[in-house]
């Protein structure tokens, strides 16, 4: 407490979780049993596909995921008089989210053994389903068509997202019955969609950040009588609305579509504009078009937050 009118509050926080997954089968002779980027691996089994029979298993195991969230927040409150009583609140917050995911994809090996009929002595080839050391994989070599193995040099680097926010709010009481609320907030998430990553030719690094997140708000509360309060407000807030305006060709999002000639998937940059509602004549003559979908760095639908105006009115008794 700085004075009888001013209070400052500083908060820090940390949250984290960790999980790991591995297969139930034992395999002491795994090729990374003595160590590797994911440590010593002695669990799992090859994924084997035979004619009419499949031996599965998690294709990405062992896998680990760690998420750390660091936060620092400061709130300042000041009460003063200026044509009525005021309660001014300001503050800011910083968040750092660090996500680390490690998948040993296909490091167990994938065997395509559909080059012939299913062996009749399956019980002798795989005597213990949960102990790969007892499996006679050489017995299916004559029907094996393909073998795939994922070799990992190192683990992935953690993904980091920085988030910043600041706000100012003034509760003004010009008289005993009326309260006016004026507020302004700004949010910024840097590399929200991993803008620094690239996957050519679909996705280029250095994609523009979303920096237009200024949100003004105005509200009021009026004490009509001892049992009735009238409240109202209007504000501007960001929402997910795709492709406002035009952006340079080098930064345009890529969309997947199907070729009208071959029916196969194709990718090409498409000009980003706000879709207009078709005219009545066009609605009557509309022809189904191939579906298109924007791709984001995480495989989700990428959206560009756009301003949205919201109003609310409420009366309570």
Give the domain ranges of the chain: 1-165
Structure tokens at 199: 């996957």
Q: Are 85 and 79 in contact (CB under 8 A)?
A: yes
Region for residue 71 given its phi and psi (left: phi exceeds 0; alpha: psi -120 to 50; beta: otherwise): beta
Q: Which residues of 55-85 are buried (b: 16+ CB within 10 A; e: fewer)?
A: bebbebbbbbeebbbeeeeeebbbeeeeeee
Summarize pLDDT for 166-208 with one digit per residue, the tens.
999 999 999 989 999 999 999 988 887 778 778 888 888 888 8
For residue 275, the model assigns a pLDDT of: 47
pTM (2 d.p.): 0.59
Mean pLDDT, all residues of the chain: 79
Q: What is the mean predicted confidence (pLDDT) over 250-262?
A: 42
Confidence of residue 297 (pLDDT cuts 50, 70, 90): very low
- Of 80-84, 141-145, 240-244, 309-313, the poorest mean pLDDT is in 240-244
For residue 114, the model assigns a pLDDT of: 96
CA distance 90 to 185: 10
For residue 306, the model assigns a pLDDT of: 46
Summarize pLDDT for 17-55 with one digit per residue, the tens.
998 888 899 999 998 998 888 788 999 999 999 999 999
């Amino acid at each position: 407490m700085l004075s009888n009118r001013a209070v400052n509050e500083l908060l820090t926080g940390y949250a984290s979780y960790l999980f790991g997954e591995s297969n139930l089968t034992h395999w002491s002779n795994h090729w990374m049993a003595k160590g590797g980027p994911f440590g010593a691996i002695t669990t799992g089994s090859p994924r084997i596909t035979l004619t009419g029979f499949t031996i599965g298993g998690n294709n990405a195991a062992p896998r680990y995921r760690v998420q750390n969230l660091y936060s620092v927040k400061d709130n300042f409150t000041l009460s003063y008089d200026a044509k009525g009583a005021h309660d001014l609140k300001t503050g800011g917050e910083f968040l750092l989210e660090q996500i680390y995911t490690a998948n040993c994809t296909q490091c167990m090996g994938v065997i395509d053994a559909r080059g012939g009929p299913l062996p009749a002595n399956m019980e002798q080839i795989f005597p213990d389903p949960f102990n790969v050391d007892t499996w006679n994989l050489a017995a299916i070599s004559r029907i094996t068509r393909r073998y795939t193995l994922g070799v990992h040099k190192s683990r992935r680097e953690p993904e980091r997202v920085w988030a910043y926010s600041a706000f100012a709010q003034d509760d003004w009481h010009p008289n005993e019955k009326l309260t006016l609320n004026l507020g302004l907030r700004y949010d910024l998430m840097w590399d929200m969609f991993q803008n620094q990553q690239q996957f050519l030719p679909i996705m280029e690094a250095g994609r523009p950040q979303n920096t237009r997140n200024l949100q003004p708000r105005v509200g009021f509360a009026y004490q009509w009588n001892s049992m009735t309060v009238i409240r109202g407000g209007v504000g501007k807030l960001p929402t997910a609305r795709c492709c406002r305006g035009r952006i340079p060709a080098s930064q345009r999002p890529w969309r997947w579509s199907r070729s009208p000639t071959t029916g196969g998937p194709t990718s090409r940059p498409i000009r980003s504009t706000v879709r207009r509602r078709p005219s009545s004549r066009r609605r009557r003559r509309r022809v189904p078009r191939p579906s298109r979908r924007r791709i984001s760095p995480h495989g989700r639908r990428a959206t560009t937050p756009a301003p949205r105006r919201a109003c609310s009115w409420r009366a309570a008794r």
